[in-house]
Amino acid sequence: MKLTRNEKSWILYDVANSAFVLILTATIPVFFRGLVDSAGVVEVCNNWLVQFLFSSNATASLAGDIQAFEALKTSLFGLTTTIAVLIVAVSAPVIGAIADYKGMKKKMFTVCLVIGVFACLLLGITQNWLGYLGLIIIARIGYASCNIFYDSMLVDVSTNDKMDAVSSFGYAWGYLGSCIPFIIGIYLILALPFGLNIATATQISFLITAIWWAVCSIPLLKNVKQTHYLENHKHQIKESFTRIGKTMKEIKNNPKMFFFILGYFCYIDGVYTIISMATTYGAEVGIGTNDMIIALLVTQIVAFPFAILSGYLAKKFKTIDILKTYIILYIFICIYGFQLDQTYEFWVLCIAVGIAQGGIQALSRAYFGKIVPKNESNEYFGFFDIFGKFADFLGPLIITICAAVFGQSKYGILALVILFVVGYFFLNKVSKLDKE
């Protein structure tokens, strides 16, 4: 399939932001745990925020319970995800509605891009564990807000018959391309050239990722135009709030879209939680840092061909049926992850995630892009994102609560099965509507 310049530029942004996702999954949580360890049990557990939110874990940690302190670190990192996605979820419909007006989409995208990249740069400087938590939240807000506009640009750069393939190429090349800055960073961390220590090498890897994110975004900023839009007028911000209520009614009155969004809310919860909490959970169950990082790199490489494959499968089979298959695979992944305690099991888990991850995200984005009104795509993708982000809020919250209550996060991993089952139930309703 021949891609246009606009499609290639759009795909390249997936390469840009996926580099941030990779360090968010692999090295940021590891570095954060190191900052917490450096601060010490006493300082961290006596912090007002820790005492307020995780008093039982803090008390157990101060009493010498090592497992409780590990669970506390998992809970703290999960808290950053919860706060960031909650903020984005609340704001998504509003900024999405505003971005539908002529010329606004790229401007708002650029502002959020600057916020995300700048926060990522600061991650390469900060040494305080609490300040580091704050920067993770800001970087995630910038990244996630960018994605609202980026996802909706799919309708500007492609046509319905190519969306599955273009969306899949985005995720595929994002997985592969993001490995370049990641491998450079890992080389610095493992080889420690130029007399670097591990902490400095890790922070330099964050700086490299921020630069990569910014540079690979340039083609999109230069070439992609907003071809579907609403005309500007004096009261467009006020009208944007009015349109939100109208859009909610339209989604509710469209059974296919309504059931798809509900299903997406449930199953993408598990997908995002597994992505964002993988290394944190791996560290808790005793998987070595180097093993985790290499295994996650393998995940990216495995995801590349399988993401492309999902685009080709969508030409032969119904997209909803393919998504249901991926959900079944994720159910087995959660059950397998629950009993995980060996390094080779973590490798198997990462490969299985690589097979399913790109396809389920790419086809979900493409399917939604095909059923929304093109001129109001940003607002609809704002709602698409709010459901995704509330899901991303719920999943880490489940992990955090289970870590706090049971002292282990694995029960939260098992609980994700319920969400995948409910997601499958709603997609099955969409399948029935497609047949009518």
Residue 78 CA to its chain's centroid (Å): 13
pLDDT score for 30: 80
Between 325 and 236, the higher pLDDT residue: 325
Give 43-96 pLDDT, tens digit per residue: 888 888 888 888 887 888 888 888 788 888 878 887 887 788 778 877 777 777
- Round the average pLDDT of the chain to a whole number and report it: 82
Nearest to 163 by CA among 383, 327, 322, 7: 7
Q: What is the Cα–Cα distance from 27 to 135, expressed in whole angstroms? A: 15
Model confidence at 192, pLDDT cuts 50, 70, 90, reads confident
What pLDDT, on the 0 to 100 scale, is given for residue 184? 92
> Has residue 425 got a pLDDT over 90?
yes
The CATH number given to whatever domain includes residue 278 is: 1.20.1250.20
**pLDDT above 60 for 391:** no
DSSP state of 231: P
- Cα separation, 199 vs 189, in Å, equals 8
pLDDT confidence bin for 285, thresholds 50/70/90:
low
Q: Is the pLDDT of residue 236 over 70?
A: no
Q: Predicted confidence band at 315 (pLDDT cuts at 50, 70, 90)? A: confident
Domain count, the chain: 1
* Other beta carbons within 10 Å of 151: 25
Q: Which residue range(s) make up the domain with 381? A: 5-435
Handedness of CA 266, 272, 275, 278 (dihedral sign): negative
For residue range 329-353, what is the model confidence (pLDDT) as tens digits?
Answer: 999 888 887 777 777 777 888 888 8
User: What is the rounded average pLDDT of the residues 265-285?
Assistant: 72
Of 117 and 73, more confident: 117
State the pTM of this model. Answer: 0.78
The confidence band for 189, taking pLDDT boundaries of 50, 70 and 90, is: confident
- Which has more pLDDT, 130 or 1? 130
Give the rounded percent of residues in the chain with a pLDDT score beyond 70.
86
Burial of 262 (0-12, 13-18, 19+ CB in 10 A): middle
Whether 268 shows a pLDDT value over 80: the answer reads yes
Mean pLDDT is lowest, of 11-15, 183-187, 260-264, 285-289, for: 285-289
236 or 247, which is more confident: 247
Name every residue whose Cβ is closer than 8 Å to that of residue 380 and which is 6 or more positions away in sequence.
96, 152, 247, 251, 368, 372, 373
- Smallest CA-to-CA distance from 240 within 89, 90, 93, 104 is with 93
Residue 101 DSSP class: B
**pLDDT reported for residue 345:** 78
Contact 308, 363 (CB under 8 A): no
Q: What percent of the chain has pLDDT over 90?
A: 18
Helix or strand or coil: residue 338? helix
Q: What is the distance between the alpha carbons of residues 23 and 352, in angstroms, rounded to a whole number? A: 20
Residue 208 has pLDDT above 90, yes or no: yes
- Least reliable range by pLDDT among 17-21, 167-171, 287-291, 307-311: 287-291
Q: In the predicted model, what is the mean pLDDT of residues 255-263? A: 86
**Phi then psi dihedrals of residue 230, to 5 deg:** -100, 145
H or E element, residue 76? helix 66-99
What residues have CB less than 8 Å from 331, skipping those under 6 apart? 417, 420, 421
Residue 283 has pLDDT above 60, yes or no: yes
Banded pLDDT at 278 (limits 50, 70, 90): low
pLDDT tens across 148-187, in order?
Answer: 888 888 888 888 788 888 888 888 898 888 889 989 988 8
Using the predicted structure, report yes or no on whether residue 215 has a pLDDT greater than 90: yes
CB-based contact 190:30 (threshold 8 Å): no
Per-residue pLDDT at 147 = 86
Q: What was the pLDDT predicted at 11?
A: 93
What number is the average pLDDT over the span 25-47? 85
